[in-house]
């Protein structure tokens, strides 16, 4: 079961999400119409997934999303499509534009299921002497974490740059790669880049230079997480 919480100040919207979750069959849902109470419940219960509206009685769902516990899967549900870019900047799994169908809802849930699977695989990989497995050109490739210089987004693909040999191109988004790689050892610094924390040579508020000599940009919305990760080395 996917433990989840929905926060929306519209009771009808919560009813629809609850109905869709029951229909899905593998989602345990609790709903909150008060965003303050809902956020407190998220902090206490630590659900795997949060469905979150954006415009709620003067409270911004974007601001609420910034305070969610690390590792929480997030799906925005809103009537305001103009907020989609902000949502994906916050690593939202998906953005459901109201009114959405059960089919579209199911697509978003499938993404969560896959990310959950990848996270479990990452935990297993961490136990297997620090390796990950990715699919590249119809074959599975095992990569030692220590060999990864950085990961770069290439449209719907990710290019994994290695300390030796050619880079590996995999049909995984950077979000999926972020969930696959172990937290604390790798950090996303930009919408286009993930780096290994232990390979940071020097950094500023706008750039980071790796031990291999490559300098990459640090996105403003990722700066705080990056600095925290570097500070925890």
7 pLDDT higher than 70: yes
Segment holding 40, helix H or strand E: helix 35-45
Is the CB of residue 95 less than 8 Å from the CB of residue 51? Answer: no
**Confidence band for 210, pLDDT divided at 50, 70 and 90:** very high
pLDDT tens-digit series, residues 149-198: 999 998 878 999 999 889 999 988 888 898 888 888 899 999 999 999 99
Please tell me the class of the 130-231 domain: mainly beta
**Confidence band for 86, pLDDT divided at 50, 70 and 90:** low
CA distance linking residue 25 with residue 5, whole number of Å: 15
**Confidence band for 47, pLDDT divided at 50, 70 and 90:** very high
pLDDT tens-digit series, residues 139-153: 888 889 999 999 999
Q: Where are the domains of the chain?
A: 2-122, 130-231
pTM: 0.57
90 pLDDT higher than 80: no
Please tell me the class of the 2-122 domain: alpha beta
- Pseudo-torsion of CA 106, 55, 67, 159, nearest 10°? 50
Confidence (pLDDT) at 133: 85
CB pairs under 8 A, 24+ apart, for 200-203? 200/230, 200/233, 203/230
User: b/e per residue, 26-35, with b = 16+ CB within 10 A?
Assistant: ebebebbbeb
């Amino acid at each position: 079961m996917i433990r989840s919480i929905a926060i929306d100040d519209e009771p009808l919207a919560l009813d629809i999400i609850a109905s869709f979750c029951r229909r899905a069959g593998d989602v345990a849902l609790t709903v909150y119409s008060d965003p303050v109470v809902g956020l407190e419940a998220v902090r206490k219960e630590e659900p795997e997934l949060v469905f979150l509206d954006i415009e709620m009685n003067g409270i911004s769902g974007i601001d609420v999303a910034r305070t969610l516990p690390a590792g929480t899967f997030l799906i925005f549900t809103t009537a305001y499509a103009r907020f989609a870019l902000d949502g994906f900047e916050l690593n939202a799994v998906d953005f459901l534009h109201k009114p959405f169908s059960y089919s579209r809802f199911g697509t978003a849930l499938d993404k969560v299921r896959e990310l959950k699977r990848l996270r479990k695989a990452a935990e297993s990989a961490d136990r297997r002497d620090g390796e990950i497995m990715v699919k590249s050109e119809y074959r599975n490739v095992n990569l030692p974490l220590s060999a990864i210089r950085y990961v770069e987004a290439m449209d719907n693909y990710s290019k994994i740059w290695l300390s030796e040999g050619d880079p590996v191109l995999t049909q995984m988004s950077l979000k999926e790669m972020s969930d696959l790689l172990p937290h604390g050892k790798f950090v996303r610094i930009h919408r286009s880049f993930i780096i290994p924390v232990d390979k940071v040579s020097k950094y500023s508020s706008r750039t980071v230079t790796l031990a291999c000599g490559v300098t990459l940009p640090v996105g403003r919305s990722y700066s705080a997480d990056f600095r925290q990760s570097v500070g925890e080395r």
